């Protein structure tokens, strides 16, 4: 039982790291998250001084967005409710993101990108 708790913590860490990178660095995050938020913030807050502008700026900060993504990941683990079918599905999804993050970093260190 304790090994599953440690496993879930490692998966939560990997999932948070990968989702943070997805939004802050990857093109998919630019296309589907950052650009729509940028256009929305420009429309509602052209000077960038209100909360819309701060939200737009926060999406470029891995520390800012990583905190909120981490909260969401932990909430998703909590809502999965422990051992059972839903938690197993959560582990598979979190494992895929974690594996992707680790493989991408190992590959970049080996000169693949």
State residue 62's pLDDT score: 83
The pTM (predicted TM-score) of the whole model is 0.74
CA distance 92 to 113: 26
> What is the token pair recorded at 89?
């599905």
H-only helix segments in the chain? 2-24, 27-29, 35-44, 51-58, 62-80, 85-109
State residue 39's pLDDT score: 94
State residue 110's pLDDT score: 75
Phi, psi at 83, each rounded to 5°? -55, 140
Judged against a pLDDT cut of 80, whether residue 79 lies above it is answered with yes
């Amino acid at each position: 039982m304790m090994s599953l708790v440690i496993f879930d913590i490692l998966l939560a860490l990997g999932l948070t790291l990968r989702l943070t990178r997805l939004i802050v660095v990857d093109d998919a995050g630019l296309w589907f998250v950052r650009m729509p938020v940028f256009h929305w913030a420009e429309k509602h807050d052209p000077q960038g001084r209100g909360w819309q502008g701060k939200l737009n700026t926060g999406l470029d900060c891995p520390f800012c967005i990583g905190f909120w993504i981490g909260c969401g990941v932990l909430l998703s683990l909590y809502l999965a409710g422990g051992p059972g079918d839903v938690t197993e599905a959560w582990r598979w999804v979190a494992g895929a993101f974690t594996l992707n993050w680790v493989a991408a970093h190992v590959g970049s260190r080996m000169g693949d990108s």
